[in-house]
């Protein structure tokens, strides 16, 4: 028998342990653990060690070759975000034997009746909530979170809201698992921000299918989370703040034909369609998944003036009606060819706006514009940050910078250095 036995225990105390483990505890000359765990064995005759400086005392115990048996009491499975990792870092593995109990997370998934083999695990116990942001942004279906007195379910809910995710999660809050006062709650993010629960709790975040569109949906600047997005890359879309600036630079007018090239989820197309319902919006997307998302979002927002076309630009542009406005959201390494095709088809008085995320595409755009004396333009770099909760505090969380290239043909009245604001528009009936 190894000199140190590490025993996982549940909220039912001694009643949660098998007879063999109880016999092992009875043999212990030293019983170590937190106050709650030691209280389960108030009549134990052995010496009692608190968790303070425990590893140092155990090292001294082993060095002195004591013959006594040490039993360390801990919660659940000691090797699942528990004391076991710390003990293995400080002591030889040969001196330790582990007796796991059912972990709190195992109990939690049993209570909410969800398979847990594919869940993503995050410990916020004594840690920052920052590591939770990545699986949330990746849209993981199930995320299990170990909490503490600072990173409570309410704090977690506020943190999720601060991320402005394109996905929607509900919270399962599991309190006092295995105890007589066990409770399980399923709450929305809104409700969870105000909840007060027992300090002994764990949280399961469950990704929902599309949430209903808010009744108070704004005319301009639809929240990112209102759109259906890529399940494996939910953050891959033009962000709300950038969309608003794109719409401003396009200077939309009624009864126009608008191309959205590399439309992705169709977020820009949907915004345009709602702002100018008399216009015809063509959303061009090369991926089958993106094409399906555009169709779903078109139905979701009940817009009838968006037509999705699957295909790669510039080839996919040849059969479309000539546009008054063009937005290039993705180019698939064909930026120059796309620009040439767009310049050839753009109607008089038209505009092109391109969102550029890489230095290589920015250089290619600049080179193209320098070789086009009949065109002029300007650039805008958009570098935004959103507030995010960090425990009781708030910090800035930056979004990826985007450069907008705003282009149009030179006219006789144009200043050579500045793209002027359009005073009028082409009001010809859109050709669909």
- The pLDDT of 362-367, averaged and rounded, is 95
- Is the pLDDT reported for residue 341 higher than 60? yes
DSSP state of 101: P
Is the bond leading into 314 cis (omega within 30 degrees of zero)?
A: yes
248, with CB counted inside 10 A (0-12, 13-18, 19+), is: middle
| Domain coordinates in residue numbering, the chain | 4-102, 105-207, 224-409
Which architecture, in CATH terms, is 4-102? 3-Layer(aba) Sandwich (3.40)
- Is the pLDDT reported for residue 239 higher than 60? yes
Which architecture, in CATH terms, is 224-409? 3-Layer(aba) Sandwich (3.40)
Which architecture, in CATH terms, is 105-207? 2-Layer Sandwich (3.30)
Confidence at residue 210, expressed as pLDDT on a 0 to 100 scale? 66
**Distance of alpha carbon 299 from alpha carbon 338, whole angstroms:** 28
Q: For the chain, give the mean pLDDT.
A: 89
Residue 149 token pair: 């007195």
**Distance of alpha carbon 391 from alpha carbon 36, whole angstroms:** 26
Q: How far is CA 311 from the centre of its chain?
A: 29
Query: At a CB cut-off of 8 Å and minimum separation 6, what does 270 contact?
Result: 222, 227, 297, 298, 301, 303, 306
- Mind giving me the DSSP string for 322-377? PPSEEEES--TT-HHHHHHHHHHHPPTT-EEEEEE-SHHHHHHHHHHHHT-TTEEE
Q: Quickly state the pLDDT bin for 415 (edges 50, 70, 90).
A: low
Residue 158 token pair: 């506020």
Residue 157 token pair: 């809910």
pLDDT in tens, 42-90: 999 999 999 999 999 999 988 887 678 999 999 999 998 889 999 999 9
User: Between residues 225 and 329, which one has the greater pLDDT?
Assistant: 329
DSSP state of 115: -
DSSP H or E run through 96: strand 96-99
């Amino acid at each position: 028998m190894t000199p140190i036995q590490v025993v996982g225990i549940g909220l039912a105390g001694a009643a949660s342990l098998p007879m063999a483990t109880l016999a092992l505890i009875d043999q212990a000359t030293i019983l170590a653990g937190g106050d709650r765990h030691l209280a389960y064995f108030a009549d134990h005759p052995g010496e009692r060690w608190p968790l303070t400086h425990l590893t140092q005392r155990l090292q001294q115990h082993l060095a002195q070759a004591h013959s006594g048996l040490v039993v360390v009491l801990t919660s659940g499975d000691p090797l699942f975000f528990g004391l076991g990792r710390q003990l293995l870092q400080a002591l030889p593995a040969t001196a330790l034997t582990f007796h796991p109990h059912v972990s709190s997370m195992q109990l939690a998934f049993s209570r909410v009746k969800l398979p847990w083999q594919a869940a993503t695990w995050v410990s916020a116990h004594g840690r920052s909530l920052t590591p939770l942001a990545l699986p949330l942004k990746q849209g993981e279906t199930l995320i299990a979170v170990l909490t503490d007195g600072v990173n409570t379910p309410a704090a977690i809910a506020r943190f999720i809201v601060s991320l402005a995710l394109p996905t929607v999660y509900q919270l399962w809050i599991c309190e006092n698992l295995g105890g007589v006062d066990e409770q399980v709650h399923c709450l929305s993010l809104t409700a969870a921000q105000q909840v007060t629960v027992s300090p002994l709790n764990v949280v399961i975040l469950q990704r929902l299918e599309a949430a209903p569109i808010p009744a108070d949906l704004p005319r301009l600047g639809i929240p990112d989370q209102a759109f259906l997005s890529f399940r494996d890359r939910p953050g891959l879309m033009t962000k709300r703040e950038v969309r608003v600036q794109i719409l401003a630079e396009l200077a939309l007018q009624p009864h126009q034909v608008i191309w959205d090239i590399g439309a992705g989820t169709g977020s820009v197309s949907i915004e345009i369609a709602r702002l100018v319902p008399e216009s015809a919006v063509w959303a061009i997307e090369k991926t089958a998944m993106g094409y399906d998302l555009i169709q779903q979002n078109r139905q979701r927002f009940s817009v009838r003036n968006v037509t999705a076309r699957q295909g790669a630009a510039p080839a996919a542009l040849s059969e479309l009606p000539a546009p008054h406005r063009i937005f290039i959201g993705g180019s698939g390494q064909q930026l120059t060819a796309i620009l040439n095709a767009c310049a050839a088809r753009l109607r008089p008085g038209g505009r092109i706006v391109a969102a550029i995320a890489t230095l290589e595409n920015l250089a290619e755009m600049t080179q193209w514009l320098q070789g086009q004396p009949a065109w002029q333009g300007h650039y805008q770099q958009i570098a935004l940050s959103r507030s995010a909760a960090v425990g009781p505090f708030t910090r800035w969380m930056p979004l990826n910078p985007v450069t907008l290239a705003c282009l149009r043909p030179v006219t006789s009245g144009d200043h050579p250095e500045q793209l002027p604001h359009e005073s009028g528009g082409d009001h010809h009936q859109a050709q669909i």
